[in-house]
């Protein structure tokens, strides 16, 4: 090993030395962090339980649902389940506090607003919004709930800001299921692009940004792209591999001297990509991966797309990315079966971005800038990975409208606390990652709540016994037979 490599290895290892200051007083900082969110709630019980629930989401628990959290923080199970599942507190004031904090720390003029749906597989049919639909988590049509999320990606980090539950049409029309799951009367059916526009209209002025991005589920809707242009937004939206386009930079067919002058033919983006000259691709480095720099090849071309009923759409930039299959490691499965295509060696993704406009804001963009925006799509997927892996975002056991929104809001807040602690810890330990910060905090919380002794053991065993006996009583009652009491054993 040469001296230069040896020095770099020594420097990297020194970045891993963990200072006690990284974790010292972390639990106290969590108490200070939660104060603005407590003030956003009106009831004293809500203010107390929101702190306890956040501690449970950040703990070591393998299943971070209301029952497990109640056992950890030593409160009655029904109290925590009611707080999350049915208590009539509004989650939106908490989201307002969260957005303000994210903007203060991560906001930058050319930040990126990213939209993405996320699915939550479910076995039953009684949870709010559950239906057989495309489940990105499993990469197929399955029984699941789907939430639509808005995230923010800057050069420093990324975080989820707000969310909407995608309520299918058959749920909206089913009064009985709406009533059982406490769906508010004012809630009507909205498409996912409409939900994205609603969140954009709510937060666009408060959240500084230069771009809007999303996957092919949004980009395939020509009306959604039109609405973004009407709002003066620059966007980079994924489109499916069967999108029909006309290349406006291709040589025109030879004119035969009669009739209208011919135009470039309509073709799918996949067919157009296959006809590209090998030298048309330009290689760019988009990020530094764990195994080295991650490079992609890109090409940009001015095209026209088709609208509904085969009407000709406006001019847009078509951006195609190419990366080797060995380097393509998506954090979440693709949102639809036609989102990308591939050959024997590479995977190809397709995006549309606006060209010139009366708005000066919608000017031409370089490939490097477009690559930065495309990379933001992986940022919001990484935010889902953080939420589901570190804060129990997908481990809820609630069926109601309020329960889903309560749990989601508190999960996003938990991840935001971890982001802040990770940034703080990296000042002393540059190699610190968010999962390792959460691991250290979980051990500290274990010391706070775990009080060894006979009294603690008795309380935990009593909770389990009460649950078992209530279940036994319920089953006997449904069969209209009185459950016998358990016999007391005599000491031999």
408-418 per-position pLDDT tens digit: 999 999 999 99
Region 115-121 average pLDDT: 91
Give CB contacts under 8 A, 24+ apart, made by 432-438: 432/18, 432/22, 434/386, 434/390, 435/389, 435/390, 437/22, 438/58, 438/390, 438/391
Residue 359 pLDDT more than 50?
Answer: no
Region 477-490 average pLDDT: 81
| CB-count burial class (<10 Å; 0-12, 13-18, 19+) for 491 | exposed
**CA separation for the pair 348, 260 (Å, rounded):** 35
Region 262-277 average pLDDT: 87
What percentage of the chain carries pLDDT values higher than 90? Answer: 47
Assign 122 a pLDDT band (cuts: 50, 70, 90): confident
**CA separation for the pair 11, 4 (Å, rounded):** 11
Residue 492 pLDDT more than 70?
Answer: no
**CA separation for the pair 380, 119 (Å, rounded):** 14
**CA separation for the pair 31, 60 (Å, rounded):** 18
Spatial neighbors of 479 by CB under 8 A, at least 6 apart, are: none
Residue written as token pair 């470039």: 264
Q: Which two tokens stand for residue 351?
A: 């995006």
pLDDT at 38: 93
pLDDT at 331: 40
pLDDT at 162: 96
**CA separation for the pair 59, 75 (Å, rounded):** 16
Query: How confident is the model over 367-388, as pLDDT tens digits?
Result: 889 999 998 888 898 999 999 9
Assign 84 a pLDDT band (cuts: 50, 70, 90): very high
Lowest mean pLDDT of 13-17, 387-391, 392-396, name the range: 13-17
Assign 257 a pLDDT band (cuts: 50, 70, 90): low
Query: How confident is the model over 38-49, as pLDDT tens digits?
Result: 999 888 888 889
pLDDT at 414: 96
Residue 452 pLDDT more than 60?
Answer: yes
| CB-count burial class (<10 Å; 0-12, 13-18, 19+) for 2 | exposed
Assign 397 a pLDDT band (cuts: 50, 70, 90): confident
pLDDT at 361: 45
Query: How confident is the model over 170-200, as pLDDT tens digits?
Result: 999 999 999 999 999 999 999 999 999 999 9
Q: Which two tokens stand for residue 76?
A: 């009655």
Residue (of 412, 407, 391) closest to 89 by Cα position: 407
What percentage of the chain carries pLDDT values higher than 70? Answer: 94
Residue 137 pLDDT more than 80?
Answer: no
**CA separation for the pair 412, 397 (Å, rounded):** 17
pLDDT at 193: 94
**CA separation for the pair 219, 340 (Å, rounded):** 13
Query: How confident is the model over 291-332, as pLDDT tens digits?
Result: 778 888 999 999 998 887 778 888 999 999 988 887 545 444
């Amino acid at each position: 090993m040469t001296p230069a490599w040896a020095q770099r290895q020594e420097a990297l290892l020194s970045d891993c030395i963990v200072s006690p200051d990284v974790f010292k007083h972390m639990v106290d900082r969590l108490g200070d962090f939660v104060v603005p969110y407590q003030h956003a709630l009106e009831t004293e019980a809500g203010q107390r339980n929101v702190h306890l629930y956040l501690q449970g989401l950040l703990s070591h628990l393998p299943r971070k649902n209301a029952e497990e959290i109640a056992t950890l923080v030593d409160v009655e199970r029904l109290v925590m389940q009611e707080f999350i599942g049915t208590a009539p507190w509004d989650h939106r004031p908490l989201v307002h506090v969260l957005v303000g904090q994210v903007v203060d720390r991560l906001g930058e003029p050319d930040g990126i607003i990213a939209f993405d749906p996320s699915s939550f597989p479910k076995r039953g049919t009684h949870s709010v919004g559950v239906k057989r639909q495309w489940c990105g988590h499993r990469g197929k049509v399955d029984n699941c709930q789907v939430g639509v999320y808005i995230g923010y990606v800057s050069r420093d980090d990324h975080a989820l800001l707000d969310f909407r539950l995608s309520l299918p049409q058959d749920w909206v029309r089913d009064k009985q299921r709406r009533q059982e799951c406490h769906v508010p009367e004012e809630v009507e059916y909205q498409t996912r692009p409409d939900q994205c526009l609603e969140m954009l209209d709510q937060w666009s002025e408060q959240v500084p940004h230069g771009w809007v991005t999303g996957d092919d589920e949004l980009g395939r809707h020509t009306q959604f792209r039109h609405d973004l242009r009407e709002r003066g937004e620059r966007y980079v939206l994924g489109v499916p591999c069967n999108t029909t386009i006309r290349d406006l930079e291709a040589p025109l067919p030879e004119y035969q001297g009669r009739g209208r002058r011919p135009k470039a033919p309509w073709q799918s983006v996949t067919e157009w990509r296959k006809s590209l000259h090998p030298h048309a691709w330009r290689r760019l480095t988009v990020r530094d991966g764990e195994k080295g720099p991650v490079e992609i090849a890109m090409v940009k071309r001015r095209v026209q797309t088709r609208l509904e009923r085969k009407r000709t759409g406006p001019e847009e930039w078509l951006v195609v990315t190419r990366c080797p299959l060995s380097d393509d490691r998506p954090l979440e499965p693709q949102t639809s079966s036609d989102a990308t295509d591939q050959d024997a060696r590479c995977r190809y993704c397709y995006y549309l971005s606006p060209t010139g406009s009366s708005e000066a804001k919608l000017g031409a963009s370089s490939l490097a800038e477009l690559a930065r925006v495309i990379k933001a799509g992986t940022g919001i997927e990484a935010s889902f990975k953080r939420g589901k892996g570190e804060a129990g975002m997908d481990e809820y056991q609630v069926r109601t409208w309020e329960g889903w929104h309560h749990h989601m809001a508190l999960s996003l807040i938990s991840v935001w606390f971890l982001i802040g602690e990770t940034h703080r810890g990296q000042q002393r330990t540059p190699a610190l990652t968010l999962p390792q910060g959460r691991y250290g905090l979980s051990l500290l919380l274990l010391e706070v709540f775990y009080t060894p002794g006979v009294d603690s053991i008795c309380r935990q065993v009593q909770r389990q016994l009460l649950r078992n006996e209530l279940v036994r009583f319920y089953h006997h009652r449904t069969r209209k037979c009185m459950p016998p009491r358990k016999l007391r054993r005599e000491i031999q």
